[in-house]
Chains A and B, each alone.
Chain A
Amino acid sequence: MSFSDPSPLSAAPGASVRAVHDEFHGDLLEVSMGPHHPSTHGVFRMMVTLDGETVVKLKPVFGYLHRNHEKIGENTSYLGSMPYTDRLDYLCSMTNNWAYALAVEKLAGQAVPERAEYLRVILAELTRLLNHTCLAGFLLQDCGASGTPLMYAFREREKILDLFESLSGSRMMCNYQRFGGCRVDAPAGWLDAARALTDGYGSFLDEYEALLTGNEILMARTQGIGCLSAKLAVSAGVTGPLLRAAGVAYDLRKVDGYGFYPRFDFRVPLGAHGDTYDRYMVRVLEMRESIRILQQALRDIPAGPIMDPKAKLRGFRPKPGEVYSRIEGPKGEIGFHLISEGGPNPYRYRVRPPSLINLTILEDLCLGHSIADAVVILGSIDIVLGEVDR
């Protein structure tokens, strides 16, 4: 038995499997978490190498939900891809629709009427509320709260989905945006219902936060766990709440000012530590800002057409060109890269999925933490496998 110090495990990013099998540490244990595991959010798989319970190596494996989205997009008409975008991040079909519509509109030089722009902002912010609410619920579920936060989150989510359903006919697969506007106008009373929901949402957030944000167990489980440095976040191309939780002020709604966002008064919350707690809190604060945007948009929305009369839906052939267009989705920058050769289909159709790119830093966040933390960190990254695998 030797008491010589084995090469100490580094918690730093890039630490690899230690080859030393000494008396105290023994063998490393390789666990395949997923693709069917309760908390990998779908069919994601993590090959985790554990020293006791400490993660020393983590290899993300994905592709189980790959369905050729981008290749299909090349063989489908521009409009035909719109319902497919619903299936990317299936929690946020409204923002996917908008990102895609925006790209095609940029390609074709298509204008959008004012009421449609307002509707788009309203739907995007409702989607943000929906996504962040679900994330908070799932994150706490991953922390081991037995369903209560998740059910509270789903109760609120249902209210938003009801709004989506009465507007578009579908709860999740909305297929609502068109090139040059929106598919149908809001039915009578819809805007009032949206106002009522928006006004009541703040009290739900207060209740939720009173229950959980100050909870000592939650703080112990999330503070100082999975710290993402601003440098790594920027160099890895991380976007969205993750990047802002790392302290980088980068919100496309402010940076690009697409849509009518410059008309609204809202703030961008920033974290200081980049840990799981910051990622959770930044999202909660973003929801409060979304409520402010919604209140302004629902107050100011004008009457008028929802579709540009010059827009051409049938036989739509944009002139040859290349375009990349992006919006600030709830999970980060969702972008579409389209190349047109003047035909009815895009020559090249490519999605920039925020979930996939945010997921690339998973190992860096998890190394040195326990397997219980790895699950929570994965939850705080907020992935949807429909978008990761496409």
Chain B
Amino acid sequence: MSAAATTSESFLERAPLLLRDAVTGFLPEPARWLANSLLSIVAVLAVFGLLFAFLTLAERKILGRVQNRPGPNRTGWFGLLQPFADGIKMLTKEDIVPRAADQLLHFLAPVTLLALSILTFAVIPYGRHLVPVELDSAVLYFFAAGAATELAIFMAGWASHNKYALLAAMRALAQLISYELPLLLSFVPVVLATGTLSTTGIVAAQGGWKWHLIPHWIVFTPWGAAGFAIFMVSALAESNRSPFDLPEAESELIAGHLTEYSGFKYALFFMAEYFGMCALSGMAVTLFLGGWQAPLPVLEFIPSYVWFAGKLLTLLLGFIWIRATLPRLRIDQLTRLAWKFLVPLALVNLGTAAFWSLTSAWSGPLQLLRWAVALVLVAGPFLLLGRGLTAGLGPRTYRYA
């Protein structure tokens, strides 16, 4: 966690730091650094572990409400104890490893996946003073760790020695590698505009308000909005969520790479999927939605970590809502969407961002021209490329005998 807070800030803003100092303050200086790091690791694991538990509950509840049913409501008040009941169930289930499976890889896959997805939590600024690790190239580190999860999914599919799992692993590789590119390309303009790869730097660059009303969040520029959309679509695919949940397409491949996993290993995969979703949403908040910044100056009295949590949960609810609504794509349509639509759009978006940076000095009527050109640069390719995606498809009229 970062440098000492100034005393002018509100008590709640400083509360995490005060709490930390209360725990580790008595230690000598070198040991304190180590203890602080350990403390932040414990805090991240505890917070996201609980978030994972209640996110599964929220997902089941929300899916239930969307589908005209109550969702889990038998365990505890409103089903609030359901995640813990699930956890106990998962822990007590028999752990089955197929005889033909590669024992070592079969065991390593969930562990690797979870470890890699936890790594990504290290660099997200959760609040004004809440960055577990300050890195100058934090964004690069984040995506490097995130990309390595593909390996673990392929490991699971290969080691299971199951045809469904193997098909799922092939799908997962094709899908995740395809979407890695638009995901990376969509944040390059942000780096271009803010001039830093550090997450704290990117959040700091989005501080302040125009006319004390519109925050300087990147999503409020034309290229930022497009980048955010591309990022979120790619994030859906990267975290294997509907409508891109092909690797574990239940109706086709049973449970995909999870087919041969049971008990707590299965739960670990589940946990890693949700961690990945949380991490990507957290990164989206950091890159595009102003991180922990408040949307209005008058709302700054609310602590920064509350704002971050609010934005994060909003994005996560979006994930759940999309899952409740959309059917799944096919693998060729999925890769086509990535290579023929998202990658070109992200590349054009890079140009738009460059134009936006170059014309930052324009004012008066030129400001209108700047907006017009940028909007055309964003909407034009979207419409042109989008038409190609849906060519030949459309509603039909039917005749009667």
Which one of B246, B253, B401 lies within 8 Å of A268 (CB-CB)? B401
Stretch at the interface among A13-21, A73-81, A148-156, A304-312: A148-156
Q: Quick check: is A229 within 8 A (CB to CB) of the other chain?
A: no
The digit string for B252-265, where 1 denotes a CB below 8 A from any CB of A, is 11100000000000
A162 to B261, CA, bound (A): 40
Contact A269 B400 (CB under 8 A): yes
The digit string for A343-375, where 1 denotes a CB below 8 A from any CB of B, is 000000000000000000000000000111101
Residues of A with C-beta under 8 A to B245: 144
Counting chain B CB atoms within 10 Å of each CB, the highest count among A141, A220, A221 belongs to A220
A371 to B331, CA, bound (A): 10
Contact B68 A215 (CB under 8 A): no
Q: Quick check: is A172 within 8 A (CB to CB) of the other chain?
A: no
Residues of B with C-beta under 8 A to A50: 167
A281 to B394, CA, bound (A): 13
The digit string for A196-235, where 1 denotes a CB below 8 A from any CB of B, is 0000000000000001111111111101100000000000
129-146 of chain A: CB within 8 A of chain B: 140-146
Q: Quick check: is B216 within 8 A (CB to CB) of the other chain?
A: no
Residues of A with C-beta under 8 A to B392: 223-224
Contact B67 A151 (CB under 8 A): yes
Contact A215 B331 (CB under 8 A): no
Q: A31-B164, A251-B401 are in contact. Are A146 and B63 (CB under 8 A)?
A: yes
Q: Quick check: is A267 within 8 A (CB to CB) of the other chain?
A: yes
Q: Quick check: is A53 within 8 A (CB to CB) of the other chain?
A: yes
Q: Quick check: is B4 within 8 A (CB to CB) of the other chain?
A: no
Contact A148 B324 (CB under 8 A): yes
The digit string for B308-335, where 1 denotes a CB below 8 A from any CB of A, is 0000000000000001111111111100
Q: Quick check: is A335 within 8 A (CB to CB) of the other chain?
A: no
**What distance in Å separates the Cβ of A270 from its nearest Cβ neighbour in chain B?**
6
Contact B395 A214 (CB under 8 A): yes
Which one of A29, A244, A370 lies within 8 Å of B163 (CB-CB)? A29
A152 to B245, CA, bound (A): 22
Contact B399 A272 (CB under 8 A): yes
**What distance in Å separates the Cβ of A69 from its nearest Cβ neighbour in chain B?**
29
Contact B400 A268 (CB under 8 A): yes
Contact A281 B396 (CB under 8 A): yes
Contact B329 A221 (CB under 8 A): yes
Counting chain B CB atoms within 10 Å of each CB, the highest count among A155, A221, A273, A375 belongs to A221
Contact B167 A371 (CB under 8 A): yes
Residues of B with C-beta under 8 A to A267: 400-401
Q: Quick check: is A294 within 8 A (CB to CB) of the other chain?
A: no
Contact B390 A216 (CB under 8 A): yes
Residues of B with C-beta under 8 A to A271: 398
Residues of A with C-beta under 8 A to B401: 244, 249, 251, 254, 267-270
Q: Quick check: is A277 within 8 A (CB to CB) of the other chain?
A: yes
Contact B330 A370 (CB under 8 A): yes
A215 to B396, CA, bound (A): 13
A374 to B300, CA, bound (A): 55
Contact B66 A148 (CB under 8 A): yes
Q: Quick check: is B69 within 8 A (CB to CB) of the other chain?
A: yes
Counting chain A CB atoms within 10 Å of each CB, the highest count among B164, B251, B394 belongs to B251
Residues of A with C-beta under 8 A to B66: 148
Contact A53 B331 (CB under 8 A): yes
Residues of B with C-beta under 8 A to A370: 330-332
Contact A217 B163 (CB under 8 A): no
A216 to B392, CA, bound (A): 11
The digit string for B62-75, where 1 denotes a CB below 8 A from any CB of A, is 01001111000000
Contact B324 A146 (CB under 8 A): yes
Residues of B with C-beta under 8 A to A269: 398-401
Which one of B242, B252, B323, B325 lies within 8 Å of A371 (CB-CB)? B252
14-61 of chain A: CB within 8 A of chain B: 29, 31, 37-39, 50, 52-53
Counting chain A CB atoms within 10 Å of each CB, the highest count among B66, B68, B252 belongs to B252
Q: A147-B63, A220-B333, A221-B329 are in contact. Are A213 and B395 (CB under 8 A)?
A: yes
Q: Quick check: is B383 within 8 A (CB to CB) of the other chain?
A: no
Residues of B with C-beta under 8 A to A101: none
Q: Quick check: is A282 within 8 A (CB to CB) of the other chain?
A: yes
Contact A142 B325 (CB under 8 A): no
Residues of B with C-beta under 8 A to A212: 327
A370 to B325, CA, bound (A): 23
The digit string for B38-73, where 1 denotes a CB below 8 A from any CB of A, is 000000000000000000000000010011110000
Q: Quick check: is A285 within 8 A (CB to CB) of the other chain?
A: yes
Counting chain A CB atoms within 10 Å of each CB, the highest count among B167, B325, B330, B331 belongs to B330
A285 to B396, CA, bound (A): 12
Q: Quick check: is B393 within 8 A (CB to CB) of the other chain?
A: yes
Contact A218 B327 (CB under 8 A): yes
**What distance in Å separates the Cβ of A217 from its nearest Cβ neighbour in chain B?**
5
151-176 of chain A: CB within 8 A of chain B: 151-152, 155
A278 to B254, CA, bound (A): 27
Given A143-B251, A221-B327, 13 new contacts (CB under 8 A): A31-B163, A39-B252, A140-B327, A143-B328, A144-B245, A144-B328, A146-B324, A219-B393, A219-B394, A220-B390, A224-B392, A272-B399, A373-B330
Q: Which 4 A-B pairs have the closest CB atoms?
A: A144-B328, A249-B401, A151-B67, A143-B327
15 pairs from A and B in contact (CB 8 Å cutoff): A29-B166, A31-B167, A142-B251, A143-B251, A145-B328, A146-B242, A215-B326, A219-B390, A219-B393, A221-B327, A221-B328, A254-B401, A267-B400, A270-B400, A371-B167
B interface vs A, CB < 8 Å?
Answer: 63, 66-69, 163-164, 166-167, 170-171, 242-243, 245-246, 249-254, 323-333, 390, 392-396, 398-401
